[in-house]
Amino acid sequence: RERIKNSSKKSREKKKYGFVSIGMGDGIQKVFTDLNVDVFLSGGQTMNPSTEDILEAAKDINAEHIIILPNNSNIILAATQAKEISDRSLYVVPSKSIPQGISAMLAFKEDKSVEENVQAMTDAVSEVKTGQVTYAVRDTVFNDMEIKKDEIIAISEGDIVAHGENPEEQTLELIKSMVNDDSFLITLFYGEDVDKKIAEGLKEKIEEIAEECDVEVIYGGQPLYYYIISVE
């Protein structure tokens, strides 16, 4: 399994904190690297890393405490098992999506204790909503919606909220369902199969339906998902 080390960081000197983050996409990897994640472990919806993969990633980090961000509900168990069997000081922040993992990293403070940081990062996870736009792998029925194989589906917090033929239209429907009066920031990560101009063109349309929010469009490069959306 591919492990991408943050080459800008000196690993020879032991430091207090180290981080392993799990996900897919070179743009997503860059976001986490810029947030000082030491090892970005490739994995996600169809290719979950094992407990052994996570332990091996942690071995690459010369730190007193290592915090793991699974960024997927299906990976939390493997991360927790790695924590339990490791003889090192491993902690798991139970992030279930890329936006939650990013929110957790932004909550980290170098001068806080590991317990304070893990608590703050865990709290931050619950303060962000995640949306995903992908395609149906088979015919299905969800909440009385008949969805055909290969149709575009928009998912909010695990529930399908819209479906249709066009990824951008479904993205706008998804965002309408996610924002409320308390929302202030929408971040759109576009995938490897999305044209940059189309993604950037969405920004204006999002600003029209969420006038009170700042909107950021970032290249994620993730497979499978046309868009991953974060609403804070």
Domains of the chain: 3-125 (3.40.50.510), 129-231 (3.30.1180)
Kindly report, residue by residue over 63-100, the tens digit of the pLDDT: 999 999 999 999 999 999 999 999 999 999 999 999 99
Average pLDDT over the chain, rounded to an integer: 93
What pLDDT score was predicted for residue 5? 63
Cβ proximity of 80 and 32 under 8 Å: no
What pLDDT score was predicted for residue 11? 52
pLDDT at 10 over 60: no
Work out the number of other CB atoms within 10 angstroms of the CB of residue 72: 23
Q: CA 189, CA 207: separation in Å to the nearest integer? A: 16
- In the chain, what percentage of residues exceed pLDDT 90? 88
Kindly report, residue by residue over 162-187, the tens digit of the pLDDT: 999 999 999 999 999 999 999 999 99
What pLDDT score was predicted for residue 143? 86
